[in-house]
Amino acid sequence: MTYDVAIIGGGPGGYSAAVRAGQYGLKTAIIERQPRLGGTCLLVGCIPTKALLHTADVWDYFKDPGSQGIECQNPQLNYSKVLDRKNKIVTKHSKGVEFLMRKNKVEVIKGNARLLSGGRIEVEGAPGKQTVEAKNIILATGSEARMLPGLQPDNELILTNIEILDMPSIPKSIGIIGAGAVGVEFASIFNRFGSKVTILEMLPRVVPVEDEEISKELEKHFKKAGIRVETGARVENVRKNAKSVSLSATLTNGNKEEMEFDKLLVAVGRKPNTEAIGLENTRAQQDRGFVKVDAYQRTSEPGLYAIGDIVAGTPQLAHVATAEGMVAVGHIAGKQIRPINRNRIPGATYTDPGIGSVGLTEAQARAQGFDVKAGKFPFSANSKATILDKHEGFVKVVADATFGEILGVHIIGPEAFELISEAVTAMEAEATVESMMSTIHAHPTVYEAIGEAFNNVYGLAINI
């Protein structure tokens, strides 16, 4: 049988593309090498981490229930139950993805896929090798944790996002190499579960893709929460001991320090899964392992598309993978489709305080020659934030002074990852600072802080 579309990879990019292809009536197959569908995001990324972060949020309230007037004797964190809950959430949603495949008449083929020439894919699975033929192929093979040279994850001491999610107990200490989204989220989880957390980041700031003020604010709150943050630090000579890991770190002041941790998490970025998928049998071009695509996610090989974490030039985020899948399938089905606008992709980092951002940072806007006007509003002046006991952070609007164009919005604070949706919608609808200033925000809400920040582009916030 020849499929209209065969998709390699059952993560958020691949499975969403499969659903959409089914909705368009295309004969569709999805090939996945793991026993379960859902990819990095559902099985070992977005969903299990956020399940743990939610428990960490709830646990925070139990640390001082008296401050809310609640008497609660000796609350305990039962970590094996915390893990059970996380696993149940993952299983529920992985089954949900299987259901979606059946509902949309997508054939699921289990096995490891490799591109051959001429629209053919070799799949090696339990029944042996088979060849799948398709008029169009979408590559959605995702990414895996990059390791430092000479290091391998081992389930015991040196961990990636996969092993750390199934540690049977909370370690006394964790070293985390890398302060990107993955590193800081695990830091926020295990700090609040009681581990002594040390972050070692080579660059001069944490969450380096965010606006500089956001990085400063997160570092400030992490330090206040007891997380040791060493930016500008170079890690060398990682050694495994019987029950711990040691390393040498050259700190930003030039001092060399020996450190020892119960566990070491390596969170230094994600490597695209493009090495063994047969790209050499195609004309698809690559950039340092990432696949180059045009605005419709087409590679240079006719009929071959790429989406998600393997794509060159777009951030490695689940919603980007999904959105790219919609573009690829829409193009295959001959629909009117709008390519991704790379400047309107929200970023969300689920730390405490959380981060949500979209568009240009202030430094990027200045570097691009805009006449920047920024407006800020702190959550310390927001009454709902006081009610929630979540005073940290601020909303920052980066705008162009000439026409009031919104260039970027950067939020750190309570539910920042939810609040950013208003800014994304505003930018997508090409709202201006003026139209956002007169947009009515319900009271008391944390998102009032967004309205105030827009007003403060012109120094007109009410509550500060």
Stretch that binds ligand FAD, among 12-20, 55-63, 191-199, 372-380 (CB under 6 A): 12-20
Q: Is 368 exposed, middle or buried (0-12, 13-18, 19+ CB in 10 A)?
A: exposed
Closest approach, Cβ 177 to ligand FAD, in A, equals 14
Query: Which of 163, 201, 210, 309 is close enough to bind ligand FAD by CB under 6 A?
Result: 309
Closest approach, Cβ 291 to ligand FAD, in A, equals 11
45 binds ligand FAD (CB under 6 A): yes
Choose between 42 and 397: whose C-beta lies nearer to ligand FAD: 42
In 3D space, the residue among 423, 439, 445 whose CA is nearest the CA of residue 379 turns out to be: 445
Closest approach, Cβ 183 to ligand FAD, in A, equals 9
- Which residues in 320-339 contact ligand FAD (CB under 6 A)? 321
Which residue has 């090495």 as its token pair?
275
Q: Is residue 292 within 8 Å of residue 286, measured between CB atoms?
A: yes
Query: Which of 19, 41, 265, 420 is close enough to bind ligand FAD by CB under 6 A?
Result: 41
Query: Which of 141, 173, 188, 455 is close enough to bind ligand FAD by CB under 6 A?
Result: 141
CA dist 395 → 376, 443, 461 (Å): 6, 17, 12
Residue 18 neighbours by CB distance under 10 Å: 32
Q: What is the DSSP letter of 31?
A: E
140 binds ligand FAD (CB under 6 A): yes
49 binds ligand FAD (CB under 6 A): yes
Choose between 186 and 222: whose C-beta lies nearer to ligand FAD: 186
Choose between 307 and 374: whose C-beta lies nearer to ligand FAD: 307
Catalytic residue among 54, 391, 410, 443: 443
Give the CA radius of gyration of the chain.
Answer: 23
Stretch that binds ligand FAD, among 134-142, 224-232, 255-263, 439-447 (CB under 6 A): 134-142
- CA–CA dist 109, 281 (Å, integer): 21
Stretch that binds ligand FAD, among 56-64, 75-83, 295-303, 311-319 (CB under 6 A): 311-319
Residue 332 neighbours by CB distance under 10 Å: 26
Choose between 26 and 139: whose C-beta lies nearer to ligand FAD: 139
Q: Is residue 408 within 8 Å of residue 342, measured between CB atoms?
A: no
Number of residues that bind ligand FAD (CB under 6 A): 36
Could you confirm whether 93 is annotated as catalytic? no
For the chain, the straight-line distance linking the first and the last C-alpha, in angstroms and rounded, comes to 66
CA dist 260 → 227, 243, 270, 413 (Å): 15, 10, 25, 32
- CA–CA dist 151, 161 (Å, integer): 15
Stretch that binds ligand FAD, among 41-49, 224-232, 236-244, 441-449 (CB under 6 A): 41-49
Q: What is the DSSP letter of 205?
A: S
Choose between 32 and 217: whose C-beta lies nearer to ligand FAD: 32
Choose between 173 and 273: whose C-beta lies nearer to ligand FAD: 273
Question: Phi and psi (nearest 5°) for 459?
Answer: 65, 30
- 13 to 32: interface string for ligand FAD, x by CB under 6 A: xx----------------xx
DSSP 264-287: EEE-S-EEES-TTS-GGGS---EE
Stretch that binds ligand FAD, among 36-44, 64-72, 221-229, 354-362 (CB under 6 A): 36-44
- 260 to 289: interface string for ligand FAD, x by CB under 6 A: -------------x---x------------
Long-range contacts of 147-153 (CB under 8 A, 24+ apart): 147/266, 147/268, 148/177, 148/235, 148/238, 148/266, 148/268, 150/238, 151/238, 151/266, 153/266
Closest approach, Cβ 262 to ligand FAD, in A, equals 20
Stretch that binds ligand FAD, among 8-16, 168-176, 385-393, 420-428 (CB under 6 A): 8-16
Query: Which of 52, 218, 318, 327 is close enough to bind ligand FAD by CB under 6 A?
Result: 318
Closest approach, Cβ 185 to ligand FAD, in A, equals 6
Cα-Cα-Cα-Cα torsion 142, 350, 42, 297, nearest 10 degrees, comes to: -30
183 binds ligand FAD (CB under 6 A): no
DSSP helix, strand, coil percent of the chain (3-state; round to 5): 35, 25, 40
Q: What is the DSSP letter of 441?
A: -
Residues noted as catalytic: 443
Q: Which residues bind ligand FAD (CB under 6 A)?
A: 8-14, 31-34, 39-41, 45-46, 49, 112-113, 140-143, 161, 182, 273, 277, 308-309, 316-319, 321, 348, 350
